[in-house]
Structure 1
Amino acid sequence: MGLVIIVILAIALFLIPSPASAPGTDKTAQNESASIKVVPFSSDNVKVSAPLPGAEVDKNFEVIGEARGDWYFEGTFPVQVHDSANNRIGGGTAKSESDWMTTEFVPFSANISAENYSGPAILAFLKSNPSGLPENDDSVSIPIVIK
């Protein structure tokens, strides 16, 4: 009889999962998800190092990044801030910090203002288009939160 109980207990130990192997308790997966970080925004034409996508910003803030030279006209291009309904709520002008007469990336900075708004927003970078032709329009955007 004692041998039967030992065999049953041994089988039970192998068939019942231990807490360490139970679903949702994988410490490695938890540690990996805790180390996820937001990286600077980058596209084929615009790279933004600050603010990061999803960042909280003040109503007046600076944007730092790089854009291809053909995004500039006379060394500038527009930056707009839109609310979740796509209403324009602010903006500024990105200014090149070096020679923009190139197809390479050129550093820029922009002082942006969105005075009368708080909440989720979109920071939109618009290619300068002095011709006004729609085929020359281009833009990229990142989400931000205005405090």
Structure 2
Amino acid sequence: MHNKFLIIACGILLIGGVLAGVFLLACGDDWCFVTKWQKVRAAESFDRCASLGFPVTESYPRQCRASDKTFTETIVPLSSTTVLKGKQMNEKVRLSEPFSHALIKSPLSIRGEARGNWYFEASFPVRLLDANGKELAIVHAQAKDEWMTPEFVPYSAELTFNPPTTKTGTLILRKDNPSGLPEHDDSLTVPVRFALFQSSGGLMRNVDLYYYSAKNDLDASGNAQCTKNGLAPVERTIPSTKTPIQDTLRLFFVGLIEENERQSGISTDYPLSGFVFKSATLKDGIVTLEFSDPLNLTSGGACRAAVLWMQIEATVEQFPEVKGVRFVPPELFQP
């Protein structure tokens, strides 16, 4: 009799264990996550990782780490397809400086172009708000040419603001609307980050990101040679930290090129969706860069692979302590 009860109890425990295992493995809803590994398994993107409560770094772009999985926030620059209030805002106002999610400090230089009907008396208001909606400053951007035209007219402004109390904010370019009628209102809102909060003491440093300009790398027949002659540095400002190489590369892989740089012929294939920069380590002058490229996005012909590789190498080698660069895995950037 005792053995019979023991067998029944073991059977119940076994069935219960199987059911619990199936439940833990099959359930994908947040309410049934009772273990950390369930959350790690469910983390499949930056947004999902952050929503599950995993730590998010204050790097740029931000990263979320779930155990051995790292997700990088996708930064979408303002472009000709920016949609605001359901409208294609590229036909009314454009902002070339600062770009979306830029690291800003006072005084802030603002440049772009807007159609003549965005102005009134050759100007329109620009407001800077902190993350709580508090207005930090307001300035009127001035047209730099005849503004009474339906065409785009360049504008500029310099905005001085007091130290904010939040890490992020928004820059709002508002159409000047002297009529006060709501149907004539319009605005462009751009997310920004405040440099004061991005490093200890707010110290900053300038770095170069090396992208590519094909027009500087042509042979006698006008064909691209895919050599270092085409490398084109663009200057950026980043926080002064203990990991400048890694911070510079994270910004490099965002691939944000300002409008004036793009017009001069500078371009890049970065970012590559699915290609992930994991780490940078410096030892005895050699920087080891580790990537994940499951889709073989760094291949695709000798010319393309060489240009992708050279941009990274030049960006890293600007640091005097670097004597060489090594890529992991070594199969990356093959024709």
Q: TM-score, normalised by structure 1?
A: 0.69
> Any idea what the Cα deviations from partners look like across 1:64-95, whole Å, max 9, x if unmatched?
10011101001000000111222212121110
Q: Which amino acid aligns with 2:136?
A: I
Partner of 1:109: 156
Counterpart selection for 1:100 from 134, 142, 147: 147
With 84-93 and 136-145 compared, the bigger mean Cα shift is at 84-93
Residues 41, 84 of structure 1: alpha-carbon distance in 2 compared, 3 angstrom cutoff = farther
Moved over 3 A (4+): 36-42
Structure whose residues are more often strand by fraction: 1
Q: Which residue of 1 aligns with 2:125?
A: 78
1:38-77 matches, cutoff 5 A: 39=77, 41-42=79-80, 43-77=90-124
Q: Offset of 1:113 from its aligned partner?
A: 2.1
The range that moved more, 40-49 or 136-145, is: 40-49
- SS at 1:67 equivalent: strand
SS in structure 2 at match of 1:132 = coil
Q: Distance in 1 between matches of 2:79 and 2:170?
A: 13
Paired residue secondary structure (1:135): helix
By how many angstroms is 1:59 displaced? 2.1
The yes-or-no answer on 1:133 pairing with 2:181 is yes
**What TM-score results when the alignment is normalised by the length of structure 2?**
0.32
Counterpart of 1:3?
none
**Identity, % of aligned positions:** 37
For 2:170, the equivalent position in structure 1 comes to 122
Closer/same/farther in 2, CA of residues 127 and 90 from structure 1, 3 Å limit: same
Per residue, is there more helix in 1 or in 2? 2
Q: Which has the higher contact order (CA 8 A, sep 6+)?
A: 1
Counterpart Cα distance in 1 of 2:93 and 2:119: 11
CA RMSD of aligned residues (A): 2.0
SS at match of 1:106: strand
Instruction: Say yes or no: does 1:88 pair with 2:135.
Output: yes
> Structure 1 pair 88/41, CA: closer, same or farther in 2 (3 Å)?
farther
State how far apart, in whole Å, the 1-side matches of 2:153 and 2:77 are: 20
Deviation at 1:57, TM superposition (A): 0.9
CA drift at 1:39: 4.5
Query: Relative to 1, partners in 2 of residues 1:124 and 1:41: Cα closer, same or farther, differing over 3 Å?
Result: farther
Aligned counterparts of 1:74 and 1:115: Cα–Cα separation in 2: 28
Corresponding pairs, count: 113
Give the gaps of 5 or more residues in structure 1.
1-33
For the 8 Å contact 1:83–1:120, the answer to whether it is kept is yes
